[in-house]
Amino acid sequence: MMLFRKEFKRIVCSGVYVLFFAAEFFFAFYTQFWNDMSLGWNSYAPPEPGGDYGMTVVDDPELLTQNATADLLQNFISNNFTTYPLGFIHKVHLKGTAKEKLRMILQMLTGFDDPETYVKEHFESKTLYYDFDTEPTYEYQIPELNVLSRVSIEDFRALMTEADKILGGGSFYSPEEIDSTFCLAPASYEDVLSEYNALVNDDKITNGYARLFCDYHGIFMALLPVFLIAVYLSEDRRSKMEQIIYSRSISSAKLMLTRFAALVCAMMLPVLSTAVLANVRVMQVYGVSGLDYFAMFKYSLIWILPTVIAVTGADMLLMGFLHPVVVVVGQFVFWFFSTNLVSPTSPIGLFHLTIRHNTCYGRQEFIDNLPIFTENRLLFTALGILCALASVYVWKCRREGKLREIKLLPKLPVHQSEA
């Protein structure tokens, strides 16, 4: 216990931890959760009949097939597709085999032998925009296509998935985006009231906001810890204490697992601290009665803690034989790809390090995904612990001189002045 207190104090009293705490507070909490509530992004009052409640995803195969096929057809004619393969906008212009494959998909969906020619000859159009350097782009008034009379809804989804692959992925036709893009209808008063009642009566308000709170924190806690871990674990080498520590009688297991525990506890501190502030903010808006005062803490432990354990364990293991800079860069690349491949509307996947739920509503959706959520969090908890245990062996080998750091970074030439 004394060693834990010593390591924990060493972490939280360091300058890099102050920066870590400040970054977590500012980016994950203040500019996201607190700012959303301050700007009134969520409706705090019960909905009133006859209001505008925005759009919602509905289960309507005919609406989905009509809108998605018409959009694909419009873009095919202009040969101008917008995709977001890595979270950044990318314009795609097809040619050759790829364009012919997409033409065949449209033939199956529309029944037109030559979709491009048929639309131009039979449907009215208006100029959507005109650029003097390119041909004018037209928007065609496409009537009911009756797609489901030619293909089943299952085949339709498979064809749209194939179209997404042809475009290089990240399009609105992907399985993750197609419904939330093309199957929208005005939300009804009854649906909105039901969501509000679920937030107030079933979620006790704070459970709903706890999911939103964890959504924001989960993104940043998948990246920020690596900087703290890199500085903390390389501190012995910088202060030339590494050989002294290696020569002591303390076991590698005790030393590394204590450091693992101290790091995890220190990194959860800003999350749990801001959970207190989140509770205070919700009380300011909804009052103090009928709330689940422990919701923010419960969700932080089951949602964020597994992420922290996984990142800490993996980074400790990698830093046992790789330079800290290499681990930081690798962690950033992994975080970038994993975060951009998971949108707020994506279903929870077993191997998603960050889990998205960017709303205080959607209780039933979360309940429906609870089994895969549980499996996901248990998996990353187990992986983190296994990596921490493996790091014990790696650092033991380093103490015994059996393992050296793998040099992936070239040494910079040192200029020596002539005498």
**Do 247 and 283 have their domain in common?**
yes
Is there a domain that residue 52 lies in?
A: no
pLDDT of residue 241: 55
**Do 238 and 355 have their domain in common?**
yes
Band of residue 403 on the pLDDT scale cut at 50, 70, 90: low
**Do 334 and 237 have their domain in common?**
yes
Domain count, the chain: 2
**Do 139 and 198 have their domain in common?**
no
Is there a domain that residue 406 lies in?
A: no
Question: For the chain, what is the mean pLDDT?
Answer: 87
**Do 261 and 290 have their domain in common?**
yes
pLDDT of residue 290: 87
Is there a domain that residue 405 lies in?
A: no
Burial of 254 (C-beta count, 10 Å sphere; 0-12/13-18/19+): exposed
Band of residue 418 on the pLDDT scale cut at 50, 70, 90: very low
Is there a domain that residue 6 lies in?
A: yes
**Do 9 and 80 have their domain in common?**
no
pLDDT of residue 417: 44
Q: Which two tokens stand for residue 131?
A: 């650029």
The residue segments making up the domain with residue 230 are 2-47+192-399
pLDDT of residue 415: 46
What is the DSSP code string of 228-263? Answer: HHHHHHHHHHHTT-HHHHHHSSS-HHHHHHHHHHHH
pLDDT of residue 8: 95
**Do 101 and 200 have their domain in common?**
no
**Do 124 and 268 have their domain in common?**
no
> Which residue matches tokens 């800079």?
325
Choosing from 186, 204, 231, the residue where a domain stops is 186
**Do 250 and 352 have their domain in common?**
yes
pLDDT tens-digit map of 303-344: 999 999 999 999 999 998 888 999 999 999 999 888 877 777
**Do 37 and 99 have their domain in common?**
no
Dist. CA 383–CA 345, nearest whole Å:
26
**Do 275 and 174 have their domain in common?**
no
The mean pLDDT of 178-206, rounded to a whole number, is 93
pLDDT of residue 264: 97
Is there a domain that residue 70 lies in?
A: yes
Is there a domain that residue 380 lies in?
A: yes
Choosing from 128, 160, 186, the residue where a domain stops is 186
- CA distances to 154, 194, 228 from 272, rounded to whole Å, are 44, 31, 18
pLDDT of residue 347: 79
**Do 237 and 373 have their domain in common?**
yes
Neighbouring C-beta atoms of residue 57, cutoff 10 Å: 15
Is there a domain that residue 202 lies in?
A: yes
Q: Are strands 137-140 and 125-129 parallel, antiparallel or unpaired?
A: antiparallel
Is there a domain that residue 268 lies in?
A: yes
The mean pLDDT of 23-48, rounded to a whole number, is 80
pLDDT tens-digit map of 77-132: 989 999 988 777 899 999 999 999 999 999 999 999 999 888 888 887 765 555 54
What is the DSSP code string of 146-172? Answer: -GGGTS-HHHHHHHHHHHHHHTTS-ST
